[in-house]
């Protein structure tokens, strides 16, 4: 059956979300229809609104969520109605070169770089007012019901609190994994984190879990420092408090630069700063924030020639379908906390207020 439900539709860029009645088609072969119970708001959603991440409109955004399976299409065997699940914006088909490699996690079936805004078969499951509505990175969670491909959904512990573990669908896993999986932070090392939103704080938790001895939190909003310290930051730096560039401040603080740095904002200037502040010969810098569209980076190649490593990390380097159920299990065993990452809980109809809170740094 077609389901009629509420969704937050983004008709065009730089406009508020519009709560509309949409029709959600039944799942086709190898697809799963999910009732969304909780969804997080992520800066990557806002990048689409502002044009920093280019996607086709109209679109239903949202990619960090948890829900319950309503129905499954033909050929779906691993998941059944009633299962608790997390949709995966980085799918895992198990067949492409990245899925088959132990080094990779960004499945070629992802819709992050191609930005087609449709299901793998090239069609949409959403219509509104007679118009086709695009999907967002294969998930589209700002709706009461969504349809995802079987490769883009993970079954999780039926006892997991969905309003918490939805964060494992993006923000927490992305940050935590950037430290543990991508950078492979070692005990006793020194780390710098640029940007202390939900993902930056999750990087911080990852650095702490890895046994880093010094964790320097960098943000231009000093209101973020109390929570950073609570989660394990040893130092907090506001670049606005200094006349000199922040990478010079960090090199002075540490003597020779940090072992690991993380850019968790998505700005080209801070990406170069994060690279420059890590140790000149063996420092590793990881880009975690989504880079802005149509912007290029200019930097002195000597920064890399001396031996630094510059890496990117999508979804924290985790193979999504394999790792998400394990991360949920770890949360249930209290191996990490999620509560400090949740500042507000709002009803779905107040989604625009939620984005205002995000944009004002609250």
- Residue 154 bridge partners (DSSP): 86
Tokens read off for 259: 């072992």
Candidate list 18, 30, 42, 261, residue with the active-site label: 42
Catalytic residue among 18, 30, 47, 140: 47
Catalytic choice (44, 140, 202, 261)? 44
Tokens of 160: 């997991």
170 carries an active-site annotation? yes
Indicate if 47 belongs to the active site: yes
Crossing angle of helices 43-50 and 351-359, rounded to 10°: 90
Residue 209 main-chain phi, psi, to 5 deg: -60, -30
Backbone angles phi, psi at 114, to 5 degrees: -80, -35
Residue owning tokens 């968790």: 264
Given 93, 99, 166, 170, which residue is catalytic? 170
Cα dihedral 235, 331, 162, 204, rounded to 10, equals 20
Exactly one of 63, 134, 135, 149 is catalytic; name it.
Answer: 63
Say whether 30 is catalytic: no
In contact, 204 and 193? CB cutoff 8 Å = yes
- 3-state DSSP assignment of residue 332: helix
Active site residue 44: yes
Cβ atoms < 10 Å from Cβ of 97: 9
Positions marked catalytic: 42, 44, 47, 63, 170
């Amino acid at each position: 059956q077609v389901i009629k439900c509420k969704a937050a539709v983004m008709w065009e860029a730089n406009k508020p979300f519009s709560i509309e009645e949409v029709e959600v088609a039944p799942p086709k072969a190898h697809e799963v229809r999910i009732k969304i119970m909780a969804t997080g708001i992520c800066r990557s959603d806002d990048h689409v609104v502002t044009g920093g991440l280019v996607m086709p409109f109209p679109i239903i955004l949202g990619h960090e969520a948890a829900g319950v399976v309503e129905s499954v299409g033909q050929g779906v065997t691993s998941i059944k109605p009633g299962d608790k699940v997390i949709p995966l914006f980085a799918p895992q088909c198990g067949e492409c070169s990245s899925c088959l490699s132990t080094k990779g996690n960004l499945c070629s079936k992802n819709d992050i770089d191609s930005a087609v805004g449709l299901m793998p078969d090239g069609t949409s499951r959403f219509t509104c007012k007679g118009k086709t509505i695009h999907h967002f990175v294969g998930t589209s969670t700002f709706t009461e019901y969504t349809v995802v491909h079987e490769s883009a959904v993970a079954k999780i512990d039926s006892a997991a609190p969905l309003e918490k573990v939805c964060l494992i669908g993006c923000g927490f896993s992305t940050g935590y994994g950037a430290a543990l999986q991508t950078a492979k932070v070692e005990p006793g090392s020194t780390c710098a984190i640029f940007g202390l939103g939900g993902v930056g704080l999750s990087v911080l938790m990852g650095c702490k879990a890895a046994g880093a001895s010094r964790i320097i939190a960098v943000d231009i909003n000093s209101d973020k420092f109390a929570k950073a310290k609570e989660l394990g930051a040893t130092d907090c730096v506001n670049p606005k408090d200094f006349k000199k560039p922040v990478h010079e401040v960090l090199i002075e603080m540490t003597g020779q630069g940090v072992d690991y740095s993380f850019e968790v904002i998505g700005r080209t200037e801070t990406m170069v700063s994060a690279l420059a502040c890590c140790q000149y010969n063996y420092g590793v810098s990881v880009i975690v924030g989504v880079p802005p569209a149509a912007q290029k980076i200019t930097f002195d190649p000597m920064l890399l020639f001396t031996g630094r490593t510059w890496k990117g990390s999508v979804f924290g380097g985790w193979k999504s379908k394999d790792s998400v159920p394990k991360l949920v299990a770890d949360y249930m065993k209290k191996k990490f906390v999620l509560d400090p990452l949740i500042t507000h809980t709002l009803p779905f109809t107040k989604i625009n207020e939620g984005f205002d809170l995000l944009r004002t740094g609250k």
